[in-house]
Amino acid sequence: MNNSINISSLSYNLIQVQQNMTWSMMIFLIFGTIGNISNTIAIIFSIPTGIYSVAQINLTSYSLIFCKLRLYIYHTLLMISRYLIIIACIDRACVSSRQVSIRNFSQIHIARILSCMTIIIWFIATIHIPIMNTIELDYCIMPGIYSLIFSIYALIFAGIIPPVFMSIFSLITLHNLHSIHVRISTTSTQVNHRIRQRDFHLIRMLTAQVFIYILTTTPYPINTVYAAVTARTNKSMDRQAIESFIYFITSSFLLFINPTVSFYIYIATTKAFRKELKLAWINLRQKMFSRRQEESK
């Protein structure tokens, strides 16, 4: 009797904590929308519906279209964001290289082409999500073997490739910067034409963003593999509550930290970014003031 009460109490408490944390994600919505544009659609599309599912009903359980599109759009946009960060890491490694041929790869038009290709590829590559997702027993699920396939796919393309590539090219960049510092210190008259001060700041911001990415994103694919492998295991109410709570933490709460805090990482890590942001605000305010003066004439 006491055991069943304890299990029920644990389940209830975890549900309450999860609901409170879901409501707290309103902070992610507000500050994430203010702080960045590239992930705004993913934030606006996913967080309000998650909060609504706590307050009212889970729309993914009642609308097959929404069940298919919510994860597709949300997952695709986050994958685009992850691989754009990889491109940025590669760009920083190139621009800090000693070899001219490699530095020449860091061009705006090349970055635009790679960014457009990344967007197109991921919207196509994730089309399996709306095709396979369905509603069973009032739950939006990945049926059958597809849940295991998706977990392996998420582990490889979200949990392994991005952090590995980000880390490799960040280390290459740091090595290149160290070489530059050595050359500058040994030759006092040598002017650093290979990398500008702004590139140092960008690299610092990127390194911090990579660290946050690894910390907040890696648990998600690991948990998806665990969930798929243990899907047919008989589980107690206690275990189901714990696993449901861990799934919420890894698949929702932690995942939204990375796209939400990028802007604030830049402010916290780079003085130059704070100065440029302040100048941009001053220029915008002056333009608005000048426009009002012209309209009042």
Tokens at residue 178, please?
Answer: 């160290």
Of 73, 78, 46, give the one whose Cα is nearest residue 130.
Answer: 73
pLDDT at 293 (0 to 100): 67
Whether pLDDT at 115 is above 50: yes
* Percentage of the residues of the chain whose pLDDT score is greater than 90: 9
Residue 90 lies in a domain: yes
DSSP strand pairing (139-141 vs 134-136): antiparallel
Tokens at residue 112, please?
Answer: 């635009």
Whether pLDDT at 60 is above 80: no
Residue 7 lies in a domain: no
Residue 14 lies in a domain: no
Name the pLDDT band for 119 (thresholds 50, 70, 90).
very high
Residue 88 lies in a domain: yes
Question: Which CATH number do you get for residue 103?
Answer: 1.20.1070.10
pLDDT at 118 (0 to 100): 94
Residue 225 lies in a domain: yes
Tell me the residue range of the domain where 279 lies: 23-296
Measured between alpha carbons, how far is 29 from 256 in angstroms, rounded to an integer? Answer: 9
pLDDT at 161 (0 to 100): 92
Name the pLDDT band for 11 (thresholds 50, 70, 90).
confident
Name the pLDDT band for 216 (thresholds 50, 70, 90).
confident
Residue 126 lies in a domain: yes
For residue 50, give the amino acid letter: G
- How many structural domains comprise the chain? 1
Residue 1 lies in a domain: no
Residue 11 lies in a domain: no
